[in-house]
Structure 1
Amino acid sequence: MTNKFFDELKRRNVLRVLAAYLALGWMVMQIAETLTDAMSLPEWTMRLLLVIGALGLPFVVFFSWAFEITPEGIKREEEVDRSQSITNITAKKLNVVIIALLVLTLGHSIYRSNQTTMVAPTETSVVESKSSEPERAATTISEATSIAVLPFANLSSDPEQEYFSDGITEELLNLLAKTPNLKVAARTSSFQFKNKNINIQDIARQLGVTTVLEGSIRKSGNKIRITAQLIKADDGFHLWSDTYDEELNDIFEVQDRISAAIVASLKESLGIELQVAKVEQKIIDPLAHDFYLKGLQGVNIKSFDSLKMAQDYFQRAINIEPNHTQFKLALAEAIILRQTIGDREEYDLEQQAVSILENILEEQPDNADALYLMALVTRWMPNKIEYSMAQFEKAYSLAPDHPLIIEYVAFFSFNRFRQLSLDKAELTTIFNRLVAKDPLNANLYYGWGIINTNYFMDYETTAKMYRRAIELNPLDSNYEFFLSGYYANTQADLVSAIPLLQSVTTSDLTDPDGPIYLARTYQSLGDFNTAQEWVDNALAREPNSGQAKLVRCTILYDLGQSKQALEEIQAALDDDKVFHRRFSRPNLASLGVFILLKDKQVARAKSFLFTYYPDLEAVKDAPPPTSIAEIGFPLAPLVAIERAAGEENLYKQLAMRMGLMTEELMQGVKPKLDYIDYLILARTGTGRKTDEQVIEYLENAIKSGYLGNWRFDMLMRPEFMHLHDHPRFKNLITEIEEKVARQRQYL
């Protein structure tokens, strides 16, 4: 009975059909796995195909038993005349199909196996140790020891959980970066590919890595599922993949396990010997960790509102975990970023960041992150410049490849009176090294553009760097803002600055900088009504902006409303809620003195100035301060006051003191001068230099490409009032007005 049944199975080709079906299924699975890698399909795709194939198996057996292929087509088996059956011919065809499928599938499997285990011989790489001296790895390390961690996809039902998947990705990246001899593409470059449909090979080529880690995160309540897969970039094949279903409390353990699995996979698949990073983890409250991840999202957006939100979230995390160093570093960074983009420049806010960092450095004096941040936050604080430089030098000795190097040097370069020990060649080497590690970091190009403006006066490179930064991250309005300054202040091109500033204005509706500088630009072009509209827009965004109030008062003066301008100046200087940046406080005081002197109110002008700078007169006997911004600049209006009062000896004495301060502080800082330097020399030269020399400084500022705020700097400074009737000065103003009149035609 059994033999007859088996013979019938063979006669009806059931076994051959079954074999062909299994061979076809094997080949389909092989092809599907390749396509899943190449097309970044979900990891459950293979399981779905397997289930579909298994469900189809009984149907294949049933139909091959119940039906038969005949010359007339498919018929039920009992309807076929046995003498007319062609099952033997069908059997031969099935044999050919089975053999062909097996050959193709085996060939594909062998090819994949060879590709996965192959290790290309490459050059030995050098890695940086914690010290500034490079050391070579003990074993030969190939270029394959490089990895990019792409942003893990957020598969949670709530799109707002994306902060969580981004944060976990960033933490995993930082953990892998601690693995000795493993080159990890920086976060800023890896996250450039978020939500972009670019194949793995192109991503790896742009980042200069040979392996890529990608995955997904699904969060539901206190449960998380993390799926991760390590891909070999040159062929797209998976080296390793796994899924982790865990409690949220175990998130750090999961990160450790993923990191260890990647290291093990690189060893098993590519023969690369690496050591798992030893990072001491402590149990962290999940809510505090969640607040921290939400804060990171705000820092990465980097807008006025997002940074306020980030500061709040980091503080809430610290309230739960008061001793967590990373949370405290993040809070300090958020405060510094608010200061950097111009949201706030308040002593209390700066002091909060300083206190946080002092607390960290007391316990960890060699924490390079804290040292760099301390250098940044103290760079403009009164009498802190030497301290800031010392913090930077120590941080640089500990971490010579830190991404904050370029940022610090860039913003330090705005200081006209101090110079870091790094020369151009060394800075260029640092920049190239950082770009090699983080090629898509827009901030590096942005910082390098600032350095080329302020230190090297290489404006062609400046423009290229700003444009590259905009190309990489068009959402960061700082890059367009600085490019507009390049046009207005180094190319004498106000018209080209306008569309950039308009873009800045629309990119962040809470940031007053765009409208402020649009107002200045239109004022410089002589369009005072449009300028007033824009400055009112700025004040609607931030009513307490001292800089916006300053620009408004200069426009009021240009519109012939000097009395109202003076009233608003006094109100701004008296209001403690007004916050000042970019020297808006001394400039408001200077403008007030100018208006009063124009009205022949010399005594009132002096009383007005001393109201806001009561210790000013003592400066003539004091040693040179570290910055003349808050002391030396108000001294220039005092020189103008004493000149107007006929106190020749006194104003010359003050002018001599002011000029010595400037020259002593600027000496040897830069190889050549730019427009800001010439304006400073002109302001501090009045009463000490001849009128011809002062006017020459102003002429050189214009020749340097400056037009950005020329009306205020040349027509509303009290120290230049005595020059207004000088023929050479009048010729300079006529030349500028003709230049801007030509530009107005293109508006």
Structure 2
Amino acid sequence: MKNIFTQLKQRQVFKVATIYAVSAWPLIQIADLAVPALGLPDSVMTLLLKIFIAGFPVSLIFAWLFNFTAHGIVRADDQDNAADDNAKKVNILTTFAVAGALLIAVLVTLASQLMVDNQVTINETAASPAIIPQPPSINKSAAINNKTSIAILPFVPFSSDPEDEYFADGMVEELLNLLAKIPDLQVAARTSSFTYKGVTSKSIVEIGKELNVDTILEGSIRKNDTSNKIRVTAQLIKVSTGEHLWSETYDREYRDIFQIQDDIARAVVDKMKITLLGNTATSPFVVGTENVDAMVEYGKGQKELSHRTVPAIKKALTHFRQAITEDPNYARAYVGIADSNVLLALYGSMSELQARTAAQAAVNKALSLNENLGEAYASKGLLLTGADNEKAELAFKRAIELNPNYAMAYMWYGTLRREQGEIASAHQLFEQAFELDPRSPVAAYNVAWCYYQAGSEAKAMDLFSQIVGNDPYYPGAYNLVGDILRNRGRLDESVAMYQRALKVDPVNKNAVQGLLLANMDMNNIEASEFWFSYLEQNPSLLSSTETVFMRARFYAAQGALEQAITYLGQVKSSAGNHGMDLYVQGEVAFYQQNYRAAVNAFEALKNAQMRNKNAFYHLVEGQAALHLAFAYKQLQQPDKMAALLTEFTLFLQQSVNKMANNPGYYYNMAAIKALQNEEEDMLAFFQGAIDAGWVQVWNAKIDPIFKPLKNNQQFAQMIAKVDAELAEMRAKLKEESKR
């Protein structure tokens, strides 16, 4: 045993093992950072780890057989047993050799993967460098916008009367509305500030850092029932130091509550502007209402609206309507009514026509009462989105001009830009909304969506945890993770997340849609029928058009094209959504092999999107563009097909989906190569889609683009492999349902 130990030491086995371990660890850390930065799949890291693990015993065998000496590498048996005359040089040579070999392994692996990834440019028109929008930074400082930032925490009522608490909340609401109109001041939104109501476990400094603001305004209210007087104390605190910048106490009569509110609001704002922004003149302060009951109802409505569940939105609508009953001239309450109706349609409990009619009337009333109400213009933009995007954009810009601190204006404007295919612009707007309302689950959801679209799924999941921590009853967070998992082909896991969303909100439209899509893709017919039955039991959950569209997709997933076409032909979009009508007409004609009609419909759709040509390629994940190209091919119009595919390829090359290793990118590229009769490249891209998580085998089976590959053995094996994975998922879910 002693002799073996001596041999191991003499043959440098221990030395090589130590150097190998010490060198491998930092290289793994570097690779872990480099792989996502280069847009490479996670499998690259797995491959590197396997290489390092396999290389370890190889390095030990090499060390047993050969030794590093001052004169080079020699067989261990030939080396003089005497101590080397230059041990330091030997150690350096050994270290360089081992570390160098590992470094070469890392570089070769990364380079080879990049070469594989760069195959997308083979035989394609050279594209200009892609401009890939980066995900926004959650912790972006307000100083970047050169704005001083503030959050107003709910004032603490020191009395047993619940009305005092409502008064305190209403006063903070008015302060927020006034401050929000100051262009050079960034104000944390009500949703974020009010999450700290009743929180005593955190210091002001901690809260300020979480809200990412420079200053905090807090206060208290004490009512004396005997003397009918009220004392309000307010103080302004610098977050970075905890220093009190200003404080004041107001002792007033309680008999004129709104005059008190007005005076306090003016005084507090004046003091803050002197301290924060210099001696600028106070802008006119317009009180929203002078009816305490209306103010209270409005505050309750805003609280419910922030949850974004159907039951909560219905409660919010009731409170806003009650506020109007108390004060028919309360403009902000009309905005609340408009928003509630739109959101009820969005989340599936109200028909779009009914919601749009009620919301339009409420917005018109709000603007007639206050033509400078930024919130009303934001709601107007939301109503116009999809129907008249140019007017919607003007409305959003006017809303931001009037109220630069209204987070929803940026959020809804971002949604419009996203639907137009302007992803970078949408990212920026979502980020601005999140800065203004960092505790809002809706704002956080949109930023998480940005991370997801940019390929930073880990960051999206981290933000999901934050959303659930702030509001575990927000279903959008679970739906987001469900969408991520479904897109990556982890359908069984996505089902679990959608079911969690549905548990929080039993009539959540997006959750039911997600469950239907996941089970359709999984070819889980029984489960799909169950969720269709769920829709029948909750008829207001989806519109009749949405349900018919889902039925068409269900039959298409089963390969029953005739039934799918029948249902698809019954899809009627809402008024003003001409684009949806053209898409449906094109798809029906396409699958009926009426390619002339398909070209007419798709070309009309493409021309309708001329203001933003990317919107056409963004539509239905590129399916409209691919089917138009196929129709050109069938009509013997190769030049038109080539031009369209060149433009679509350029769009895909510049798309965030390429950088994100998104399966949709590879699938679309595979379809393009199939149309170009480049079978080898097509198979490579198709395998890339499968590796990235593509599982919609039903789509490839019914799409005539892939029909020429029907007898290709390699293509058939790929499809069979995915079918086997789907069968495993179905079996897993069936087994879990028995527990």
> TM (normalized to structure 2)?
0.60
**2:190 alignment partner, one of 167, 187, 194:** 187
- The answer to whether the Cα contact below 8 Å between 1:553 and 1:566 also exists between their aligned partners in 2 is yes
CA distance in 2 between counterparts of 1:498 and 1:414 reads: 26
- The answer to whether the Cα contact below 8 Å between 1:593 and 1:718 also exists between their aligned partners in 2 is no
Cα distance change on mapping 1:313 and 1:230 into 2, 3 Å: closer
**Superposed counterparts of 1:472-511, under 5 Å:** 472-489=470-487, 491-511=488-508
CA distance in 1 between counterparts of 2:451 and 2:196 reads: 28
What SS does structure 2 have at the residue aligned with 1:624? Answer: helix
What SS does structure 1 have at the residue aligned with 2:608? Answer: coil
Give 1:539 shift.
3.9
CA distance in 2 between counterparts of 1:404 and 1:348 reads: 22
Indicate yes or no: 2:298 matched with 1:256: no
Counterpart code for 1:407 = M
Question: What are the superposed Cα offsets for residues 704-746 of structure 1, whole Å, 9 maximum, x if unpaired?
Answer: 3344xx2454344465555544444323312322444455576
Cα distance change on mapping 1:304 and 1:181 into 2, 3 Å: same
Structure 2 match to 1:63? none
Cα distance change on mapping 1:218 and 1:493 into 2, 3 Å: farther
Give 1:211 shift.
5.0
- The answer to whether the Cα contact below 8 Å between 1:239 and 1:265 also exists between their aligned partners in 2 is no
Question: What are the superposed Cα offsets for residues 604-650 of structure 1, whole Å, 9 maximum, x if unpaired?
Answer: x75xx99xxx897355478633144499966866887x79xxx9326
Counterpart code for 1:488 = R
What SS does structure 2 have at the residue aligned with 1:440? Answer: coil
Structure 2 match to 1:415? 419
**Superposed counterparts of 1:623-642, under 5 Å:** 624-626=607-609, 627-628=615-616, 629=619
Structure 1 match to 2:692? 704
What SS does structure 2 have at the residue aligned with 1:302? Answer: coil
Give 1:414 shift.
4.0
- The answer to whether the Cα contact below 8 Å between 1:376 and 1:408 also exists between their aligned partners in 2 is yes
Which of 1 and 2 has greater Rg? 1
Give 1:518 shift.
2.3
- The answer to whether the Cα contact below 8 Å between 1:151 and 1:214 also exists between their aligned partners in 2 is yes
Give 1:303 shift.
1.7
Indicate yes or no: 2:311 matched with 1:305: yes
Counterpart code for 2:445 = Y
Indicate yes or no: 2:472 matched with 1:469: no
Structure 2 match to 1:380? 386
What SS does structure 2 have at the residue aligned with 1:230? Answer: strand
Structure 2 match to 1:149? 153
Number of equivalences: 574
Structure 1 match to 2:517? 520
Indicate yes or no: 2:324 matched with 1:329: no
- The answer to whether the Cα contact below 8 Å between 1:333 and 1:373 also exists between their aligned partners in 2 is yes
Give 1:330 shift.
3.1
For the aligned residue pairs, the C-alpha RMSD in angstroms reads: 5.6
What SS does structure 1 have at the residue aligned with 2:335? Answer: helix
Q: Where does structure 1 lack aligned partners over 5 or more consecutive residues? A: 1-125, 136-142
CA distance in 2 between counterparts of 1:197 and 1:591 reads: 58
- The answer to whether the Cα contact below 8 Å between 1:656 and 1:687 also exists between their aligned partners in 2 is no
CA distance in 2 between counterparts of 1:306 and 1:418 reads: 32
> TM (normalized to structure 1)?
0.59
Give 1:416 shift.
6.4
Structure 2 match to 1:138? none
**Superposed counterparts of 1:12-51, under 5 Å:** none
Question: What are the superposed Cα offsets for residues 387-439 of structure 1, whole Å, 9 maximum, x if unpaired?
Answer: 5455556666776665246524653464364456x598xx39x94x7666644
Give 1:507 shift.
0.7
Structure 2 match to 1:736? 722
**Superposed counterparts of 1:641-680, under 5 Å:** 648-649=634-635, 659=645, 662=648, 670=656, 672=658, 674-678=662-666
Question: What are the superposed Cα offsets for residues 26-47 of structure 1, whole Å, 9 maximum, x if unpaired?
Answer: xxxxxxxxxxxxxxxxxxxxxx
- The answer to whether the Cα contact below 8 Å between 1:502 and 1:514 also exists between their aligned partners in 2 is yes
What SS does structure 1 have at the residue aligned with 2:343? Answer: helix
Cα distance change on mapping 1:172 and 1:291 into 2, 3 Å: same
Question: What are the superposed Cα offsets for residues 508-561 of structure 1, whole Å, 9 maximum, x if unpaired?
Answer: 112232233223324434443233323422442335624455445555666788
What SS does structure 1 have at the residue aligned with 2:506? Answer: coil
CA distance in 2 between counterparts of 1:356 and 1:179 reads: 26
Question: What are the superposed Cα offsets for residues 667-688 of structure 1, whole Å, 9 maximum, x if unpaired?
Answer: 8565846444555666788756
Counterpart code for 1:478 = G
Percent identity over the alignment is: 17
CA distance in 1 between counterparts of 2:288 and 2:625 reads: 56
Counterpart code for 1:259 = A
Counterpart code for 1:536 = S
Structure 2 match to 1:714? 700
Greater RCO structure (CA 8 Å; 6+ sep): 2
CA distance in 2 between counterparts of 1:423 and 1:478 reads: 18
CA distance in 2 between counterparts of 1:227 and 1:372 reads: 37
Counterpart code for 1:447 = N
**Superposed counterparts of 1:139-288, under 5 Å:** 148-150=152-154, 166-177=169-180, 185-201=188-204, 202-204=206-208, 206-207=210-211, 208=213, 212-215=217-220, 228-230=232-234, 239-240=247-248, 246=254, 250-260=256-266, 262=268, 278-281=284-287, 284=290
Give 1:151 shift.
6.0
CA distance in 1 between counterparts of 2:532 and 2:385 reads: 29
Structure 2 match to 1:76? none
What SS does structure 2 have at the residue aligned with 1:301? Answer: coil
Cα distance change on mapping 1:235 and 1:529 into 2, 3 Å: same
Cα distance change on mapping 1:526 and 1:632 into 2, 3 Å: closer
